[in-house]
Amino acid sequence: MTQFDTPDPVAIDLVRFETAHLPGALALSQAVGWPHRAEDWALTLSVSQGVAAVVDGRIMGTALCSLHGPVATLNMIIVDAALRGRGIGLRLMEAIIDLAGDRELRLVATEEGKPLYRKLGFVDVGRILQLQGMSKAAPPERAVEAGPADPELLARMDFEASGMARAALLDRIAREGRTLRTEGGFALLRAFGRGHVLGPVVARDPGAARALMAAGASHLAGSFLRMDLPEAERLAPFAETLGLRAAGGGTAMVRAACPRAPSPYQTYALISQALG
């Protein structure tokens, strides 16, 4: 997306995003080079509301608002290349902002999208680094266990780290993927895109986070792995020792930020750029 403020002469309907729109949405994301599978769209939609821009029965734009208690993440904001510059992006954003109500709003912006988001009141709060590649085994510096974990404990640690209430989402990811646990933290590993993604990684300190990252990479040694890391936590160099390399990223942006109580837990890797 580049410019969205040109009047649109095309008849465009904004409709509620439904499961039936997933094939058209998948085609849009593939056209812009995003790695999402149908299953990845469905996971995001399971905790989201959204809108689709429809022209002559075709899906030409999408935007989702994922609801996590007091916070909403805005994501999957795509406009077909043929219709960019006609105000569709602005209409999609206004619609999902309305869906979010009075929640704090978060998103990860591309360079092309930032001018629009700034016009809508979003401010930059950091960088998200996307690292990916064929993972290498590495011995964790702390003991890490794999297997079921208390879902309430995971949800509590995640809420303290992120301010987002995501118990149902975490439980679904844990059931479909793998849970890694260490003293003072946890991580979830699941199929995504070209291979797997490790996230969230939630921990009380960088040592626990590194142990979870090493365990995830070791479990998938020789396979494609992705992590989305907040640059401020400074673990990208460690991820590179696990075989991952920088492959883009985005700018974390927030609107109507809510005050949060101090917490010993931090998010060292996101569930995804869409879901925070």
pLDDT for residue 228: 98
Cα(78)–Cα(86) distance, integer angstroms: 13
pLDDT for residue 16: 98
Below-50 pLDDT ranges, the chain = 1-8
pLDDT for residue 261: 87
pLDDT for residue 85: 85
Q: What percent of the chain has pLDDT over 70?
A: 96
Cα(228)–Cα(132) distance, integer angstroms: 9
Cα(210)–Cα(101) distance, integer angstroms: 37
Cα(135)–Cα(226) distance, integer angstroms: 9
Cα(244)–Cα(201) distance, integer angstroms: 16
* pTM (predicted TM-score): 0.94
Q: Which domains does the chain have, with CATH numbers?
A: 13-121 (3.40.630.30), 129-269 (3.40.630.90)
Chain segment 145-156, per-residue pLDDT in tens: 999 899 999 999
pLDDT for residue 9: 52
Nearest to 41 by CA among 66, 69, 14: 66
pLDDT for residue 10: 63
